[in-house]
Amino acid sequence: MKPNQTRLNILIAAMIFMAPFFKTNAQSDDQSNGAYRKIYIQESWAKLDTNNDGVFTEKENELSWKKIKRFDSNQDNQVSFEEYSNKIQIPNLETDGKRKLNVLYKVTKEKDLYLDIYYPKNAKEGDKLPVVIYTHGGGWAAGSRHGASNASFKTVHTALLDKGFCVVSVSYRLWEKDGTTSMRDCVIDCKDALRYLSKNNQELSIDKNRFYAFGDSAGGQIAQMLLLSSPESLEGDGSLKNYDYKMVAGVSWYGPCDFEKSSLFNHDDRPDFRDRFGPRILMPDTKEKDKLALYREMSPINYLTKTSPPLLMIQGDSDTTIPVKHAYYMEEKAEKIGAPVSIIIVKNAGHNWRKVGADINPTRGEIEQSTIAYFVSNF
């Protein structure tokens, strides 16, 4: 083992020993007794200290430096691991209600998987609460459940807590280029999170018959899969497979609905843009004859039926990552079979509601309120 790595492991161990003495909300709610903090520090530090020299400087990442330089206690224009680990806080929703953070729900050979549970402030012991499950975006290859506390997601989740929902933010394995994991694993992990919640519904004071799905981009596709595919499909952890649940409604922000119809991803200057995501569905050794079945399996539209729970898709008309055609295509099928799908098309909006040429319409605030209202209307 490299000397720097040995020193890093010793320092992380020291931080875990000291964790109970930190007076932050996040630590007091930590269900992992410090184990997850160790993981978070190690993984986040590795992304900063790219040359593995034990310090992080502006040269390594100028954008990240702007956020991290405040940790530079001795003003030497670099942040040491000690400075970083002493000051870094795990991003979570700050709420007035009870929280269960860093709940281990599944162990895989690649990594342990955690979720965070946020309760409405007026929740009482023995309540059976409806649950909104948030699945983060990031192209199935990046992002984390901590995005639940960022920007528009913070607004939506805080409002849902005020409305009496429980909010659960889920981690899942990310796609790896070497074929270790695929999009299928992302979806299965999130379905296992639902099964875990179902298994432990009594202790967690949640109603396994009132689950809701919410996600953006890749998380939007996962949210659609959670909403539309049956609880027993896409089996994962054997210890969780017999626990069922009921989905009530879901909202997808700029999430794809179909990978078979490649024209949904195409643009004039990108004649076969599906190839960007195809490798995240296929394995390196996937045979040509098996590709179509895998594309279909990961396409939420194939699970849509007349009796599906209500789905709201919100898409930007100028999104070049997940084109607006996905919303129109899902709406078209829904109309044919009588399924409950609604769409909102945001004008002048690219991916992540970026403005393209003019102000987006409806506004970001109106998108947030529409999302909140949709869940409340299906309470």
Q: pLDDT tens-digit profile of 199-255?
A: 999 999 999 999 999 999 999 999 999 999 999 999 999 999 999 999 999 999 999
Could you give all domains of the chain from N- to C-terminal order, each with its CATH number? Answer: 3-87 (1.10.238), 99-377 (3.40.50.1820)
d(CA 277, CA 275): 5
Q: Is 322 exposed, middle or buried (0-12, 13-18, 19+ CB in 10 A)?
A: buried
Strand (E) or helix (H) holding 327: helix 325-337
> What integer best gives the mean pLDDT of the chain?
91
Q: Which two tokens stand for residue 76?
A: 């030497």
pLDDT for 21 beyond 50:
no
Q: Which of 152-166, 214-228, 265-279, 358-372 has the lowest mean pLDDT?
A: 265-279
* 260, 296 contact by CB (below 8 A): yes
Q: What is the mean pLDDT of residues 259-278?
A: 74
Strand (E) or helix (H) holding 64: helix 62-68
Q: Give pTM, 2 decimals.
A: 0.90
* 305, 274 contact by CB (below 8 A): no
Nearest partner of 252 among 348, 337, 165, 327, judged by Cα: 327
d(CA 149, CA 116): 11
More reliable by pLDDT, 43 or 269 = 43
Q: Is 323 exposed, middle or buried (0-12, 13-18, 19+ CB in 10 A)?
A: buried
Q: Quickly state the pLDDT bin for 273 (edges 50, 70, 90).
A: low
| Region of 55 on the Ramachandran plot (φ > 0 left; ψ -120 to 50 alpha; else beta) | beta
Amino acid at 245: Y
Nearest partner of 223 among 191, 192, 184, 265, judged by Cα: 191
Q: Is 315 exposed, middle or buried (0-12, 13-18, 19+ CB in 10 A)?
A: buried
d(CA 162, CA 87): 30
User: Residue-wise over 188-206: b if at least 16 C-beta within 10 A, else e?
Assistant: bbbbbbbbbbbbebeebbb
Q: What is the DSSP string of 167-188?
A: EEEE--PPP-TTSSS-HHHHHH
pLDDT for 18 beyond 60:
no
| Region of 280 on the Ramachandran plot (φ > 0 left; ψ -120 to 50 alpha; else beta) | alpha
Contacting residues for 207 by C-beta, under 8 A, at least 6 apart: 128, 129, 130, 131, 201
Q: Quickly state the pLDDT bin for 63 (edges 50, 70, 90).
A: very high
Question: 151-162 and 364-377 helices cross at what angle (nearest 10)?
Answer: 30
* 211, 191 contact by CB (below 8 A): no
Contacting residues for 167 by C-beta, under 8 A, at least 6 apart: 93, 117, 118, 131, 132, 134, 148, 157, 160, 161
pLDDT given for residue 203 in this prediction: 95
As a dihedral over the C-alpha atoms of residue 182, residue 188, residue 193, residue 199, rounded to 10 degrees, the angle is -150
Q: Which two tokens stand for residue 206?
A: 């949640």
pLDDT given for residue 274 in this prediction: 53
Nearest partner of 174 among 47, 352, 293, 12, judged by Cα: 47
Contacting residues for 242 by C-beta, under 8 A, at least 6 apart: none
Q: Which two tokens stand for residue 230?
A: 């049956």
Q: What is the mean pLDDT of residues 50-67?
A: 95
To which residue do tokens 């789905």 refer? 311
pLDDT for 97 beyond 70:
yes
* 300, 224 contact by CB (below 8 A): yes
pLDDT for 265 beyond 50:
yes
pLDDT given for residue 171 in this prediction: 98
pLDDT for 370 beyond 70:
yes
pLDDT given for residue 276 in this prediction: 76
